[in-house]
Structure 1
Amino acid sequence: MYFLYTIIASLAVFFILKWLKKRRYCTDLRRLDGKTIIITGGNSGIGKETAIALAMRGARVIIACRDPDKAEKAVREIKLKSHSLNVLHMELDLANLSSVREFCKSFLQREKKLDILVNNAGMPGVLEWTDNNFSMCFGVNHLGHFLLTNLLLPRLKECAPSRVITLTCSSYKYQKLDFQDLNYNQLPFFTYCRSKLANIYFSQEVARITEGKGVTSYAVHPGFVQSGWTCHYSILFRMLVQVIMWMFFVPCEIGAQTVIYCAVSDEAAKHSGGYFIDCRPATLRPFARDAAVAKKLWEASERLVNLA
């Protein structure tokens, strides 16, 4: 009898875990021939799976990341899996604003088109600092992408209709921004939450300032994904989290589906400035829809990156 109960309990756990990990797939088969796409952090995780999927649809895909060796390896894998040779790498370190400016200068000289910008790269909650003395989370997740998008925005407008997709996380709901301490870098999880909330405000403000100019903007929560973010922590922590991720998190291929959806879907284009989960629009907490806060963050970010 005990053996039977064990089997029933095991099956119940199996089906619960399977249900928790069930996610929608992007079913839109639109081609992207002739389109040029930048994906930050496209050498691994969700970024690489997004690159494979969009390259398979005929796009010219540029993965932007800081490690040339990892990037070249990723380019070979993406080409092999997508059966496309139109994939390349350009060096970009989002933790260094000079690198962001150099990347944009080089890209604008080399490439005549930019149709989709995927702000995918991100840092987990680590108490480190960027080369410009910003907290690593806020500096990479928000400020690096903020400067990158602004410098590339004229090209996106020239190539309209175009799209900006920024990855965020549902953990935004656990924190609010403190404009007296945007560079907050104390509790790792809260630091991460604030950077993800900044991503949402940023995406909304991109939609506002480009309204009527052919550029649409989307904030995407890809779900909780089995990515490589644990590499920034100790071996013991990695081992523990790997078990949890295996049980409850989804593979990167599934995590990329909502990004792909926002890159190709006509339906998504009707919701510029929206927040997407599981290939459909989702509702944000009221404080995360505050247009005045989004504008204030934009103006503060302009000063921090010396954009004005």
Structure 2
Amino acid sequence: MSSWTDTDIPDQSGRIAVVTGANTGLGYATARALAEHGATVVLACRNTDKAEEAAGRIRRLAPEAAIDITELDLGSLVSVRDAAAAIRARYDRIDLLINNAGVTGLTGTTADGFEIHWGINHLGHFALTGLLLDRIIAAPAGRIVTVSSIGHRFGRIDADDPVAPTGNAYAVSKLANLLFTYELDRRLTDTRAISVAAHPGGASTEIFRYSPAGFRLPNLAIARLFGRTPAMGALPTLRAATAPDVRGGEYYGPAGLFEIRGYPVRVESSARSHDVRRQARLWEVSEESTGVHYRF
């Protein structure tokens, strides 16, 4: 289907979906669409006040929507563990985990001392996924969808020292998202769960809102000129999360020129993202960095 839209989402009644960064932008559009199609959606957000506002907006659009809120700061491994414990206490299975939240254009480190893009975009989601893994495997057909970016093509990760990204830190973190997705899917082979990835193409969202003005303003201008709405940008994630024909290890993005615009289709990521040695080494370092060791 070259024109897949949210009307193609199958009935999600009875399914439990966790969406990180769900109070705004792509995460909100993803959470809203899943809730409108019957899923119970957990908004996992750093700012719970904004999450409550987002939940209210969803309920106005879908009065029967079941919405839950969990505080999650991906820049703090303590917060990640607390959020995972809260979700585990409420749900004995998770059908969908959408690793959506992300930052760009920032400087500094996380609460745990990691470069901020590396710590939030990759390590935080690596830890959260591992801590929820048994709940995902317990679902009849669990899926983990990790949101990457066209920018992953500019990322470089040293296979021998992946914990010290250099160059474009955002691009490096988005490459890590794909290396993680593919390695995770390989390790899920003997389970009913799959790991897939998606990217929104060019989308006008609030991802630049905390960036320095010199970075934020030109990027916002470009996004508003050439980007599409968050609802369109969320379609690749939604297709990866819900379409019956999706297979583990696939990657979805817009069908148009340079994958910037268009309806979601299966796309190809860079050759670097398929480097099995880098995938395995990144996995080892991520476990060491987070203290989260996956159990399959």
Q: Relative to structure 2, which stretch is displaced further, 104-113 or 135-144?
A: 104-113
Q: Does 1:130 align with 2:110?
A: yes
In 2, Cα distance between the equivalents of 1:142 and 1:282? 21
Question: Which of 195, 208, 212 is residue 230 of structure 1 equivalent to?
Answer: 208
Q: Does 1:272 align with 2:257?
A: no
- Per-residue Cα deviation, 1:65-121 (whole angstroms, up to 9, x for no partner): 111211111111121123334012110110000111111111111222210000000
Tell whether the 8 Å contact from 1:184 to 1:191 is kept in structure 2 after alignment. no
In 2, Cα distance between the equivalents of 1:103 and 1:72? 16
Counterpart in the other structure of 2:291 = 306
In 2, Cα distance between the equivalents of 1:246 and 1:24? 23
- Structure with bigger helix share is 1
Q: Does 1:71 align with 2:51?
A: yes
Q: Does 1:140 align with 2:116?
A: no
- Per-residue Cα deviation, 1:143-166 (whole angstroms, up to 9, x for no partner): 000010011111111113110000
Question: Which of 35, 42, 49 is residue 55 of structure 1 equivalent to?
Answer: 35
Following superposition, the deviation at residue 263 of structure 1 comes to 1.5
Q: Does 1:282 align with 2:282?
A: no
Tell whether the 8 Å contact from 1:274 to 1:281 is kept in structure 2 after alignment. yes
Following superposition, the deviation at residue 274 of structure 1 comes to 1.5
Counterpart in the other structure of 2:260 = none
In 2, Cα distance between the equivalents of 1:29 and 1:151? 28
Tell whether the 8 Å contact from 1:28 to 1:264 is kept in structure 2 after alignment. no
Tell whether the 8 Å contact from 1:64 to 1:91 is kept in structure 2 after alignment. yes
The aligned runs of 1:67-216 (5 Å cut-off) are 67-179=47-159, 181-184=161-164, 187=167, 190-216=168-194
Q: Does 1:43 align with 2:23?
A: yes
Tell whether the 8 Å contact from 2:131 to 2:292 is kept in structure 1 after alignment. no
**Corresponding residue SS for 1:37:** strand
In 2, Cα distance between the equivalents of 1:129 and 1:197? 19
Q: Relative to structure 2, which stretch is displaced further, 278-287 or 110-119?
A: 278-287
Tell whether the 8 Å contact from 1:216 to 1:272 is kept in structure 2 after alignment. yes
Counterpart in the other structure of 2:11 = 31
In 1, Cα distance between the equivalents of 2:233 and 2:3? 8
In 2, Cα distance between the equivalents of 1:273 and 1:235? 37
TM-aligned CA distance change 1:287 to 1:35, over 3 Å: same
**Corresponding residue SS for 1:230:** coil
Tell whether the 8 Å contact from 1:168 to 1:200 is kept in structure 2 after alignment. yes
The TM-score normalised by the length of structure 2 is: 0.90
Unaligned stretches of 5+ residues in structure 1: 1-21
In 1, Cα distance between the equivalents of 2:57 and 2:126? 29
In 1, Cα distance between the equivalents of 2:44 and 2:112? 20
**Corresponding residue SS for 2:209:** helix
In 2, Cα distance between the equivalents of 1:243 and 1:100? 33
Following superposition, the deviation at residue 284 of structure 1 comes to 2.0
Q: Give me the CA root mean square deviation.
A: 1.8
**Corresponding residue SS for 2:208:** helix
Tell whether the 8 Å contact from 2:149 to 2:200 is kept in structure 1 after alignment. yes
In 2, Cα distance between the equivalents of 1:210 and 1:183? 24
Following superposition, the deviation at residue 24 of structure 1 comes to 5.4
Following superposition, the deviation at residue 212 of structure 1 comes to 3.1
Question: Which of 192, 196, 200 is residue 218 of structure 1 equivalent to?
Answer: 196
Matched letter for residue 155 of structure 1: R
Matched letter for residue 102 of structure 1: D
Identity across matched positions, percent: 31
Q: Relative to structure 2, which stretch is displaced further, 178-187 or 297-306?
A: 178-187
Counterpart in the other structure of 2:258 = none
**Corresponding residue SS for 2:8:** coil
**Corresponding residue SS for 1:229:** coil
Question: Which of 213, 221, 236 is residue 243 of structure 1 equivalent to?
Answer: 221
Larger Rg: 1
